[in-house]
Amino acid sequence: MSVPARIAVLASGGGSNLQALIDRLNTGGSAAARVELVVGSRAGIGALERAERAGIPALALDARMMGADTFRDALAGALETHRIDLVVLAGWLQLVPAEVVARYHGRMVNVHPALLPAFGGKGMYGRRVHEAVIASGARVSGATVHLVDERYDEGAIVAQWPVPVLPGDTPEMLAARVLAVEHRILPLAVEALARGASIPIVGDAPVAFDLVAAPAPPDASLRRTMHVAGPALGTQA
């Protein structure tokens, strides 16, 4: 791994997570990692514009236009040319070719807008995730950073942070609340991995739930969550 670690970000959309990485790692002057390459899944997307504004090499690789083999070779070639150490999928909607996943085993992460392993897997992306969370009646969602392996959303969890689902939430309202947390935990997780942190990351950065310090919610918070009136949950404070 180079110092600072050389990061490639793969994005399909507006690139607000890419921007959070640039702000912390490149313009924020992190010694641990820098974004050195941005790959967009098609020309003209916001993520590529953000890369250009920041002076970061960027290219569009559209798998549907190029065909699977050309796409795989072009992606692998770009990562090699730019001597990339860590790959970050930040709103990347295409499948990453198995050869590239294998080459970056343990060095490729994805950010997912829910608390995996809940609300993940094939077809669970973007608005659909938040619709499913709201429809389930879950009171908590969140953001997850995880290692990428050959299966959708199933690699080891690197970092998670919870976000409340509030009464009356629309998918857009929940998405915005979760996205703000993605912007916080993704750069922290990438920086920690670049520094050689082990997984799951615990320690210097507020990246994961600290279940050791807080193994259970206090009675009062459960009562609020469940709208339980009165002393039904045992010991009172």
By beta-carbon proximity to ligand GRF, the closer residue of 15 and 155 is 15
By beta-carbon proximity to ligand GRF, the closer residue of 146 and 195 is 146
β-pair type (33-40, 58-60): parallel
Give the nearest distance from C-beta 51 to ligand GRF in angstroms. 12
Q: Cα separation of 99 and 116, whole Å?
A: 24
Q: Cα separation of 185 and 66, whole Å?
A: 33
Give the nearest distance from C-beta 37 to ligand GRF in angstroms. 16
Among candidate residues 112, 130, 146, 183, the one labeled active-site is: 112
Under rule CB under 6 A, residue 16 binds ligand GRF: yes
Contacts of 82 (CB under 8 A, 6+ apart): 6, 8, 36, 37, 57
Binding ligand GRF (rule: CB under 6 A), the pick from 36, 85, 153, 182 is: 182
Under rule CB under 6 A, residue 200 binds ligand GRF: no
Contacts of 132 (CB under 8 A, 6+ apart): 119, 124
Q: Which of 91, 165, 96 is nearest to 134 (CA)?
A: 165
> How many residues interact with ligand GRF (rule CB under 6 A)?
15
β-pair type (140-147, 157-164): antiparallel
Q: Let me know if 105 is a catalytic residue.
A: no
By beta-carbon proximity to ligand GRF, the closer residue of 178 and 219 is 178
User: By CB under 6 A, which span of 10-18, 147-155, 157-165, 206-214 interacts with ligand GRF?
Assistant: 10-18
Under rule CB under 6 A, residue 91 binds ligand GRF: yes
User: By CB under 6 A, which span of 22-30, 67-75, 105-113, 165-173 interacts with ligand GRF?
Assistant: 105-113
Binding ligand GRF (rule: CB under 6 A), the pick from 86, 115, 179, 197 is: 179
Contact footprint for ligand GRF (CB under 6 A): 11, 13-17, 90-91, 111-113, 125-126, 179, 182
Q: Which residues carry out catalysis? A: 112
